[in-house]
Amino acid sequence: MVGIVVVSHSRSLARAAVALAGEMVHGRDVPIEIAAGLDDDTFGTDAAQIAQAVLDADRDDGVVVLMDLGSAVLSAELALDLLEDDVRERVVLCPAPMVEGLVVAAVLAASGAGRDEVATEASAALAGKQSHLGPPPTGEQPDGTPADYVGVLTVTNRHGLHARPAARLVTDVRAFDARVEVRNLTTGSAWVPATSLSRVATLGALHGHQVEVRTAGAQAHEALDHVLALASRGFGEVDSGPTEAVGVAPATPAELPTAASPGVGIGPAFAMRSTPVEIPREPAQGAGPEWLRLERALAGVRRDVQRVRAWTAREGGPTDAAIFDAHLLLLDDVDLLDEVHRRVDAGEAAAPAWSAAVTRIADEFTALADPYLRARAADVRAVGDQVLRALLGLAAAPPRGTGVLIAGDLAPREAAGLDASRVAGVLLASGSATSHAVILVRARGIPAVVGLGPGILDVPDGTPVALDGSTGEVVVDPPAEILHAFQARAAELARREDRARSRAAEPAVTRDGVAVRVGANVGSVEDAQAAARYGADLAGLVRTEFLFLDRTSPPSTDEQEAAYREIAQALGGRRITVRTLDVGGDKPLAYVLTETEANPFLGLRGIRFSLTHPALLADQLLAIVRVAHDVPVSVLFPMVSTVDEVVRARRILDDAIKLAGSGEPAGLQVGIMVEVPSAALKAAALAPYVDFMSVGTNDLTQYALAAERGNTAVAPIADGLDPGVLRLIDSVCRGAADRALVAVCGELAADEHAVRLLCGLGVRELSVVPGAVPGIKEAVRTVDLRRASSVAAAALDAADAASVRSLILEG
């Protein structure tokens, strides 16, 4: 019988496809092997794993190999080189679509068909869809390349299609069975494949540029629609706000230094002088062994990047962690790997072939006109250097020393690994305030100044240095009086931070004796542990989406219960506010079929989605109720807009209470997220059905101001301190009155200047990222409610957000 090998970047995807094919052969033993992922959680393909799968599937009748996309094909080709000649001759690499092709191949193999027939029929697996739906409309592009659909998008991202939005585009496009190409209409660039991060980023597509998209293939229409919708949402990028420097090019000695991360740093200088990797002049050992060496190096670096990404997500949040998504895509970039493959096939060793290909791509970035995009060359070189060191067995030396770190530049992984307890500040000869490394330095809370020029590298180790990352001031070997001034600044900052930390576990009470609970927003056990360390009074928001996303089936009730108990245990018995599944919009579930929505943010989101899929909600509520019998738990329903939604959700909760037994848990509370203006305006009608209302200012702001928070073109409008948004919060507080507590769990809660205003409006609970808890508690302690109420009343009548900020500072 013919054997089949499934090669995929995702092990879970391959297993699901094999399970589907197994249903079609009715128990007949078809030899199907999986060579997918580097492990259960790590995407990637491994030639050695594929070669072994071929051997396991081979029954002497031949093997048909099906691949999903991109480098899976290259890995399968390399696997053939690793096989003995007699085995290789029996293997066919089949260009069929993986899922449809696998079903057809399994059925044909089970019926006793030969290798060539299995491969041929699998390759024609789309014929059924095509005959039923008809051929798609086709168009012809000026260069003669056929396209099924063509569209044009306008880039709204502030920095254009730089690494993060480009990475989102490439990631999403790879999910479609379609060829997708893009070009910059504004500059008249050539067409490039949208599956290659290096090629997309070098389009030089800046803010306001028009990009043409053309698609062809089975899912051409869906792919084009998705890309245009993604572009309308700014490719999922949340604007970093006006406080982050924009478009700063690497500085020359003649230019002024750039303040890059606030705070004062004082200490002895210590250098991180990385030496360039020398590539040995050694002959290649053959295409197969050289490519295998590179694959193993790529796999090792991929695991390392994913570890750094996970750590960064826990410590700095998803926005900081997304920096590494572009690094992961570069490791799997078809354009890059194709060039390396050609060089290795031509007789080059893996190390020089990789170095040359990376240098070519980095040079393309360097040649771009936009300074922000030019800065991305550093990311390419950093990833390239990491792989090169792995290839040659060279460990990257970590920075050693305590004080002010001086370097030419930093790679993101180096920045993510800096220890704020040892590194008092960072001074870079080049770099920019918008580089990914500097963003991570800011996330670590380390003061930094960049663009100081090569002269800074001449500062001897041990030399006293003082810097202010808020102003860009740097003084090497400062005189006593200047050093004293810097020390006074640092001492004042430290006193404020130490005071906040020392009292973090104490309740936050206003000057006139009103308690305001300060909780933490958490999305993992690690977040909950951090919340406990930082003195959070409760988990004001537990995001449960981490249990439901990036998987092929929903979590069981038992799995959910175990996860919620872990979070409760990490918080030491404090109350946890568990938000029910909040998906839809930009967070679809792979295992729930939903219709395409023209505007998903106004569609089946939050509680609307859950009530449409009540079995999912019922299982989740049962898990929550079980936990609530042992620890204080609040249930939070998201995206509520009508009373009927609350009534229906509470009915399902009542059923879960009955099913769990032992009656209603004593500490169970029920609340709703107020994210829709209509809910804010009819808070009085909703209040009788809930114990609390939690205002999600991020969504409330974008809906109230018709300004999507991920769209940089309207970012200046989307301000939570706009008087229109404040009036909605005021409406919630007035409507809730004494019947329901009002909380705020959006970004506005973490703004220390906004705390006085929110307290003045009547908010009595704030929920923020764990690290912000001490500072927000300290801000609450400075509030005089009588004065705060007066400032809040004036803010409601202000002209704009800027006027509100002035009122806060004056009050």
Q: Which residues are catalytic?
A: 436, 745
Residue with tokens 């739906």: 133
DSSP 118-148: HHHHHHTTTHHHHHHH-PPP-EE-TTS-EES
3-class SS letters over 516-570: EEEEEEECCHHHHHHHHHCCCCCEEEEEHHHHCCCCCCCCCHHHHHHHHHHHHHH
CA neighbor of 466 nearest in space, from 404, 399, 400:
404
The edge-to-edge listing of strands for the beta sheet with 179-184 is 149-154, 210-216, 179-184, 192-193
DSSP 255-294: SPPEEEE-SEEEEEEEEE-PPPPPPP------HHHHHHHH
Q: What's 675's DSSP letter? A: -
Of the CA atoms within 13 Å of residue 689, those in its CB half-sphere come to 22
Contact present, 694 and 540 (Cβ < 8 Å): yes
Interatomic CA distance for residues 128 and 149, integer angstroms: 21
Contact present, 780 and 516 (Cβ < 8 Å): yes
Contact present, 604 and 645 (Cβ < 8 Å): no
Interatomic CA distance for residues 615 and 617, integer angstroms: 5
Residues in the chain: 811
Query: Is residue 214 within a helix (H) or strand (E), and if so which, with residue range?
Result: strand 210-216
Q: What's 691's DSSP letter? A: S
Count other C-beta atoms under 10 Å from residue 245's C-beta.
15
Interatomic CA distance for residues 656 and 440, integer angstroms: 44
Rounded to the nearest 5 degrees, what angle is found at the Cα of 82, between the Cα atoms of 76 and 88? Answer: 75
Contact present, 776 and 508 (Cβ < 8 Å): yes
Interatomic CA distance for residues 428 and 689, integer angstroms: 56
End-to-end CA distance of the chain: 82
Interatomic CA distance for residues 41 and 18, integer angstroms: 18
Interatomic CA distance for residues 399 and 404, integer angstroms: 11
Q: How many angstroms separate the Cα of 753 from the Cα of each of 341, 424, 510, 519, 721?
A: 55, 27, 15, 18, 10
Q: Hey, what are 319's tokens?
A: 């926005």
3-class SS letters over 20-48: HHHHHCCCCCCCEEEEECCCCCCCCCCHH
Q: Work out the angle between the directed axes of helices 334-345 and 287-316 (0-180°, nearest 10).
A: 160
Contact present, 358 and 380 (Cβ < 8 Å): yes
Residues 6+ apart with CB under 8 A from 309: 321, 324, 325, 328
Interatomic CA distance for residues 764 and 745, integer angstroms: 11
440 phi-psi bin (left φ>0, alpha ψ -120 to 50, beta other): alpha
Q: Which residues of 149-187 are buried (b: 16+ CB within 10 A; e: fewer)?
A: bbeebebbbbbbbbbbbbbbbbbbbbebbbbbbbbbebe
CB-based burial label for 212 (10 Å; 0-12, 13-18, 19+): middle
3-state secondary structure at position 450: strand
CB-based burial label for 603 (10 Å; 0-12, 13-18, 19+): middle
